[in-house]
Amino acid sequence: MNNIINIYEFRRNKKIKKFRRAGVLIAIISILCMLVYGLIVAEIHHPTRLPSYIEPKP
């Protein structure tokens, strides 16, 4: 009977590891997507750059 319980426990641990891997993978992909989105938004809405000098008035 101990062997059967160990097999079921092994299968359960295997499923838990698969779910954990899937969760980590989804988290990494979502973080990368947020970073890429942030970079794209920062490029589109870049702040207006002022010249480093004042142009002389005629």
Task: Label residues 28-55 b or e (16+ Cβ within 10 Å = b).
Answer: eeeeeeeeeeeeeeeeeeeeeeeeeeee
Handedness of CA 19, 24, 30, 36 (dihedral sign): negative
Query: Percent of the chain beyond pLDDT 70?
Result: 62
The whole-number pLDDT of residue 47 equals 57
pLDDT classification of 41: cutoffs 50, 70, 90: confident
**Mean per-residue pLDDT of the chain:** 79
Examine the pLDDT at 1 and tell me if it is beyond 60: no
The whole-number pLDDT of residue 50 equals 61
Q: What is the mean pLDDT of residues 30-42?
A: 89
Q: What is the Cα Rg of the chain in Å?
A: 27
